[in-house]
Amino acid sequence: MTRTLEVDLGDRSYPIHIGPGLLHDPVLYRPHIRGRQVMIVTNETVAPLYLAPLRAALDGLEVCEVVLPDGEQYKTLEVWNRIFDALLDARFARDCTLIALGGGVVGDMAGFAAACYQRGVAFIQVPTTLLSQVDSSVGGKTGINHPAGKNMIGAFHQPLAVIADTETLDTLPQRELSAGLAEVLKYGLIRDPAFLDWLESHMAELLSRDPEALAHAIRRSCEIKAQIVAEDELESGQRALLNLGHTFGHAIETASGYGNWLHGEAVGAGMCMAADLSARMGWLAEADVERVRRLVTCAGLPTEPPPELDAERFRELMAVDKKVLDGRLRLVLLTAVGEAVISDEIDQDQLTATLSARRP
Ligand code: NAD
Ligand code: MG
C-alpha cells in the first residue's frame, strides 16, 4: 500500500512516502539523519498520540522534543523562538536534524526553525493532518504569521524527506478532514479535470475515511504539487497557481482572527469567490461556478466569506498579500474546471461585486 514519489529538485530532490504505519518505521528515517541529535517539534495535541511511536523509531539516537501550544494563533515569533531555546539548551550542533510531527502549523514553524538554526539544518516532515499530507509538507515553504498578515515571515527550506502515515488521519477531527479536502479540490481545479471527476464521485468515501480513497487522493495531490514545485521552486511563475482561493482566503483568516476559520475553510470559500469572479469576467461558465460551489459544499466547507467582511476591508487585507507585485493585485482565476491562470488584469468593478456578493 505504500507509495513513494519524488520531488525532483536536482541534488535537493527528496522522497514523499505515503502509506499506513510509516510513522514508526525506522528504515524511513535513518538515510536522512546524519548526526546523532534529533529534535522533534510537535504540539500538545499530537504529542500524546504519536510522539512515543516516533521516538521508538529513532531508538539509539539523542532525541529531544519541543511541544508547542496547539493552534494557528500560536504560529508567532514568540512561540517559534521556543524551538531555538530547546535547541540551544540541549546544545544541538549543525549536523542535527529537526523532525516536524504534526499539521501544517508545526511543519511551517519547524521548517522555518530548521532554515534558520545555525544558518540551516536538516529537516524531515512527518505530517499528520490531511492538509499537511497533501500540501504544506511538500514544497519547502516555511514560516510564521505576523499580526498584519499570514505567513509574512519565512523562508524556502526543502525537507530531506516527507513521511506521510495515512493511519494518523484516523484521529483527525472531521472539521480538519474537510479543511484538508479544500486543498485536494484545489489540485483538481487548477490542473486535473479527471481527478476532479474522481473526487466528485468519491467524496462520500473520503469523508468516511475509506483508506484506499484517502490514499489515492493524497498520492494524486502530492504528484501534482511535486510536479509544480519541481517546475518553479521559488514561485517565479506557475507555482502561484497553487494559491487558487488563497488571496481571498488569507483575507478571511486575517479578518476573523487566526484560528477561527480553518485555513482550508477559508480556501474553500476563497475558491468559490475565485470562480465567481472568473465568471463575472466572462472566463468561466456559470454552470462551472455552481459545480465548484457544490463540490466545496459536499466536502463540508463554507462557500461564502463571513457576512461582516465588506468589500473595502477585503481590499485592504488583500493588498497585504504576497501575491501583490508592484502594487498590482494578482489573482488565480479559472478558465475552465481543471484549468487556471494567474492574472493581474482584474476588473475592479467585477472584483467589488465578488467581494460584496453573498449567494443564497
Ligand atoms: P494544524 O497544524 O493547525 O492542525 C490542525 C489541528 O489538528 C490542530 O489542532 C492539530 O493539533 C491537530 N492534529 C494534527 N494532527 C492530528 C492527528 N493526527 N489527530 C488529531 N489531531 C491532529 O492545521 P493544518 O490544517 O494541518 O495546517 C494549516 C497550516 O498550514 C496553516 O498555518 C497554513 O498557513 C499552513 N500551510 C502551509 C503551506 C506550505 O506550503 N508551507 C501550505 C498550506 C498550508
Ligand atoms: Mg493552502
Distance (angstroms) between ligand 2 centre and the Cα of 135 equals 7
Cα distances from 340 to residues 115, 228, 234, 334, 336, in angstroms, run: 31, 13, 19, 4, 7
Contact assessment for residue 135 and residue 110, using Cβ atoms and an 8 Å cutoff: no
pLDDT score recorded for residue 154: 98
pLDDT score recorded for residue 325: 60
Query: Which cell is 75 given?
Result: 504560529
Q: How many residues does the chain have?
A: 360
How much is the CA Rg of the chain, to the nearest whole Å?
20
Name the closest-CA residue to atom 33, ligand 1. 104
pLDDT score recorded for residue 254: 87
193, 332: one domain: yes
State if residue 249 touches ligand 1 by the CB under 6 angstroms criterion: no
198, 165: one domain: no
pLDDT score recorded for residue 206: 98
Contact assessment for residue 224 and residue 191, using Cβ atoms and an 8 Å cutoff: yes
Instruction: Give me the residues paired with residue 14 across strands.
Output: 7
Cα end-to-end span (Å), the chain: 43
182, 161: one domain: no
pLDDT score recorded for residue 232: 95
Angle subtended at Cα 289 by Cα 130 and Cα 267, rounded to the nearest 5 degrees = 30
To test the ligand 1 pocket, which listed residue (263, 271, 301, 322) has its Cβ within 8 A of the most ligand atoms? 263
140, 231: one domain: no
Distance (angstroms) between ligand 1 centre and the Cα of 129 equals 6
pLDDT score recorded for residue 323: 63
Our answer to whether residue 260 is catalytic in this structure is no
pLDDT score recorded for residue 87: 98
* Final residue belonging to a domain, choices 116, 146, 171: 171
265, 333: one domain: yes
Our answer to whether residue 24 is catalytic in this structure is no
290, 189: one domain: yes
Contact assessment for residue 326 and residue 175, using Cβ atoms and an 8 Å cutoff: no
Query: Helix or strand or coil: residue 237?
Result: coil
> Of all atoms in ligand 1, which is nearest to the CA of residue 180?
25
210, 302: one domain: yes
pLDDT score recorded for residue 251: 93
**3-state percent helix, strand, coil for the chain, nearest multiple of 5:** 50, 20, 30
Contact assessment for residue 55 and residue 202, using Cβ atoms and an 8 Å cutoff: no
113, 22: one domain: yes
pLDDT score recorded for residue 324: 63
Catalytic-role residue among 157, 216, 220, 225: 225
CA dist., res. 213 & res. 166, Å (int): 11
Note the helical H segments in 132-234: 174-191, 193-207, 211-231
Full-model pTM: 0.96
Phi, psi of 208 (to 5 degrees): -95, 10
* Final residue belonging to a domain, choices 115, 150, 171: 171
Taking each continuous run of H as one helix and of E as one strand, the counts in the chain are 13, 11
277, 131: one domain: no
Query: Residue 80's closest CA among 19, 143, 38, 123?
Result: 143
Query: Which cell is 36 given?
Result: 546523532
160, 41: one domain: yes
Cα distances from 351 to residues 212, 267, 312, in angstroms, run: 40, 17, 11
Phi, psi of 38 (to 5 degrees): -130, 130
38, 51: one domain: yes
* Final residue belonging to a domain, choices 117, 141, 171: 171
Other Cβ atoms less than 10 A from the Cβ of 26: the count is 12
Our answer to whether residue 235 is catalytic in this structure is yes
pLDDT score recorded for residue 326: 65
pLDDT score recorded for residue 8: 96
279, 187: one domain: yes
Report pLDDT digits (tens) over 7-59: 999 999 999 999 999 999 999 999 999 999 999 999 999 999 999 999 999 99
What's the total number of domains in the chain?
A: 2
Query: Which cell is 10 given?
Result: 536536482
Element (H, E) at 165: strand 161-165
Distance (angstroms) between ligand 2 centre and the Cα of 242 equals 8
The domain that holds 153 is classified in CATH as 3.40.50.1970
Residues sharing a CB contact under 8 Å with residue 213, sequence separation 6 or more, in sequence order:
202, 205, 206
pLDDT score recorded for residue 357: 92
Other Cβ atoms less than 10 A from the Cβ of 235: the count is 18
Our answer to whether residue 146 is catalytic in this structure is no
Give the position of cell 524551538: 83
Query: Which cell is 43 given?
Result: 504540539
Give the residue ranges of the chain where pLDDT is below 50.
none
Output the DSSP codes for 35-83. Answer: SSEEEEEEETTTHHHHHHHHHHHTTTSEEEEEEEPPSGGG-SHHHHHHH
Q: Which domain holds residue 88?
A: 3-171
CA dist., res. 65 & res. 28, Å (int): 19
The domain that holds 306 is classified in CATH as 1.20.1090.10
Query: Residue 100's closest CA among 71, 68, 145, 74?
Result: 68
